[in-house]
Amino acid sequence: MATFFEVIDKIREVGNIPTLPTVATQVMSLAADPNSNISDIAEVIETDQALATRVLKVVNSSAYAAREKISSIQRAVVHMGLTEIRSITIGLSVMQMFPGRPGLAGFDREAFWNHCLSTGQLAKAMALRLGYNFQGDDYTAGLLHDIGKILLDQYFQDDFVDAIQESRDRGIPLHQAEAKFIGGTHFQVGAWLVKRWRLPPSIYDVVAHHHAPSAAKENREIIAVVFMANILAQAKGLGFGGNIYRVPLDENDGWKIIQQEKPELAEVPFEKFIDDLEDNIEEIRTSGSIF
């Protein structure tokens, strides 16, 4: 069996490692430049009309709880702030690079992205309810948490399909089967890719630790939030990321971390907390794909 380093070597050998979309790179450098202004950022996003439309759809979704309808990117930047828009733009532009491709044996990219979008929306909604401000990294980290699966699908397709099959047959978490068949997991190769792209550290931490939040040393709260969003999206059947294994909702590791950080929630069961998210879940279920 290959080791993780051999897995990365193989990705390098095959070549064509996806690069971060130009819009994302430009938005990242504008957001970091004290001399840039709102119009500069809006202009860059508007060069990609499909992206601009998706950004507006996210900004107007119930996860963001916008009070009035926002119909221009310029307004969106003013309303949400630069950092938040930067983050959403990164996530959505990466998603656009790997469009939905229904019907592939074992791994349906359209269902996959629906799982990821649902996770992003739920992460944002949860963070808002918990009073956290992760400045858009919650949404983006949710959207990109499983990005490594795209690499596995691209570079190790046969082994990846076998891993999906094995996890289905034996009822084990997909990442365990990936380690067995490929030698590395989607969270390992995903974290490698996100680091290569120099995305914000909290997004890296979520991608790397989204299946074991308790093992993380930093950014534990955002990791916990995306962990909970991921298992909730799975439990509610919002999209499908190839993993049939279900983490029990009660006493999950993500909620335990939040309860440690917020003692006032110590007695609140997770099921009670997610009761408040029914509207968000319903909206995600009925709003359809944003492809």
Shortest distance, position 95 Cβ to Fe ion, whole Å: 14
Interacting residues with Fe ion (CB under 5 A): 146, 230, 241
Shortest distance, position 81 Cβ to Fe ion, whole Å: 27
- Closer by beta carbon to Fe ion, 59 or else 189: 189
Shortest distance, position 188 Cβ to Fe ion, whole Å: 11
- Closer by beta carbon to Fe ion, 230 or else 280: 230
**Coil/strand/helix, residue 291:** coil
Shortest distance, position 286 Cβ to Fe ion, whole Å: 21
Question: How far apart are alpha carbons 137 and 239 in whole angstroms?
Answer: 21
Burial of 110 (0-12, 13-18, 19+ CB in 10 A): middle
Shortest distance, position 93 Cβ to Fe ion, whole Å: 20
Question: How far apart are alpha carbons 122 and 155 in whole angstroms?
Answer: 30
- Closer by beta carbon to Fe ion, 21 or else 190: 190
How far is CA 260 from its chain centroid?
24
- Closer by beta carbon to Fe ion, 138 or else 146: 146
- Closer by beta carbon to Fe ion, 85 or else 281: 281
DSSP string, the chain: ---HHHHHHHHHHH--PPPPPHHHHHHHHHHH-TT--HHHHHHHHHTSHHHHHHHHHHHTSTTTT-SS---SHHHHHHHH-HHHHHHHHHHHHHHHHS---TT-TT--HHHHHHHHHHHHHHHHHHHHHHT---TTHHHHHHHHTTTHHHHHHHHSHHHHHHHHHHHHHHT--HHHHHHHHTSS-HHHHHHHHHHHTT--HHHHHHHHHTT-GGG-SS-HHHHHHHHHHHHHHHHTT-S--S------STT-HHHHHHHHH-GGGTT--HHHHHHTTHHHHHHHHHH----
Residue of 261, 267, 194 whose CA lies nearest to 221? 261
- Closer by beta carbon to Fe ion, 120 or else 241: 241
- Closer by beta carbon to Fe ion, 61 or else 230: 230
Shortest distance, position 241 Cβ to Fe ion, whole Å: 4
- Closer by beta carbon to Fe ion, 80 or else 94: 94
Shortest distance, position 9 Cβ to Fe ion, whole Å: 23
Shortest distance, position 186 Cβ to Fe ion, whole Å: 6
